[in-house]
Amino acid sequence: MAKVNPAVTYCSNIHPGESWADVMHNLNSHALEVKQRLKSNAPFPLGLRIAKQAVLEADDHAIAEFRQWCEQHNAYLLTINGFPYGTFHQTRVKENVYLPDWRERARVEYSKRLGDLAVALEPGAERISISTVPIAFKPAFNDADWPQAIAHVREVAEHYRDIFAHTGTKLVLAIEPEPACVLETTAEAIDFFARLDLPDDLRDYVGLCFDACHQAVEFESAAQCLQQLNDAQIPLGKVQVSSALQATDEEIQALLDFDEPVYLHQSVARHSKTGELHRFTDLPEFAAACERGDVFDECRVHFHVPIFLQHLGRVGTTQHFLRELLPLVDKSVPLEVETYSFAAIPENLRHGSVGENIARELEWVHKLLF
């Protein structure tokens, strides 16, 4: 099967569902629609979100069904989102999305089983990345937790090394920095890999999932991030192609229109006088700071919005970060569009169906890169 580089897909975490039946339903109801809208004869890469429930339900029959589906529809498994462990839609997720975190055995066992499942779903694959949480939610973590977290990540790396020895498929545990987490900035990610200090035979099995929305929220430079990671010899397991909310001056108050009860919307605001960055765990905290009289000239918010938009209602987006980033990414790195919060966008700002928006996002990436 001839595959296109860079491989561009979308993450199925935009679709609700925790069971294996949900995985297959989303493929038949949504992935096929997107593939048809793209009108391409090229093999279609899949970015699957596979929850813990689905992992447990994926028996030999389910695996055979998936492989037959891929053969029938000219598709293949490119990457797995192993970040959300349980329910991810239609209920309060917020900081619980990081649980279980890397201090807990449940995260280790889940990540191992995802690796076992990945090579069963796509036998003969050269490389499959599996993204995961950035160690833990920062307010819940302290320095005494590091030894346990590091030991757990190493254990999964050892398991992936053993899988490679038996199958020839290289699995990459792709740790995904995110605002308000233990790994938040690129500098913190680099420090973590130094702390992890993997031996040579494990280094290929742990990398980074670079989420563009997250690093844009941190006011980072795309080019500098990539250069710093390259200098530190930290591999990219994948890049999540995503865009955040961005507002300046009088637009800033309009960000509060995006406060909603499901997801955590970490906010980073630049003080208008000092230029310092102030970090807030969620939009209500940012609103409280504004009410106290703090004045900011720019604020960026962790809210994944359609990547083809430069503006959404009364505010802007960090699409400019993607325009800088994507042409610089090595063509061997998978690209995964991840606009999971489409249903959380205020209804008056949504245009078109989910399938229409996903296809339009993928087309936007293709036009930028090809």
Position 362 confidence tier, pLDDT thresholds 50, 70, 90: very high
Average pLDDT over residues 300-308: 98
Q: Is the pLDDT of residue 217 over 80?
A: yes
The answer to whether residue 119 sits within a structural domain is yes
The answer to whether residue 280 sits within a structural domain is no
Q: Which residues 6+ apart lie within 8 Å of 158 measured at CB?
A: 202
- Number of independent structural domains in the chain: 1
> Which residue range(s) make up the domain with 50?
8-244+304-369
Position 90 confidence tier, pLDDT thresholds 50, 70, 90: confident
| 44-49 sheet: strands from edge to edge | 8-10, 335-337, 236-241, 206-211, 170-175, 127-132, 75-81, 44-49
185 in Cβ contact with 218 (< 8 Å)? yes
Position 351 confidence tier, pLDDT thresholds 50, 70, 90: confident
Q: Is the pLDDT of residue 1 over 80?
A: no
Position 2 confidence tier, pLDDT thresholds 50, 70, 90: low
Position 5 confidence tier, pLDDT thresholds 50, 70, 90: confident
The answer to whether residue 251 sits within a structural domain is no
Position 348 confidence tier, pLDDT thresholds 50, 70, 90: confident
Mean pLDDT of the chain: 97
Average pLDDT over residues 8-16: 97
The answer to whether residue 86 sits within a structural domain is yes
What's the CATH number where 172 sits?
3.20.20.150
Position 249 confidence tier, pLDDT thresholds 50, 70, 90: very high
Average pLDDT over residues 238-262: 97
* Secondary structure in 3-state letters for 79-119: EEECCCCCCCCCCCCHHHHHCCCCCCHHHHHHHHHHHHHHH
Average pLDDT over residues 318-335: 98
Longest dimension (CA), the chain: 62
The whole-number pLDDT of residue 4 equals: 64
Q: Is the peptide bond between 100 and the residue preceding it cis, with omega within 30 degrees of 0?
A: yes
Average pLDDT over residues 57-86: 98
* Nearest CA among 354, 293, 330 for reference residue 14: 354
The answer to whether residue 224 sits within a structural domain is yes
The answer to whether residue 21 sits within a structural domain is yes
The answer to whether residue 261 sits within a structural domain is no
The answer to whether residue 169 sits within a structural domain is yes
Interval 169-186: pLDDT, tens: 999 999 999 999 999 999
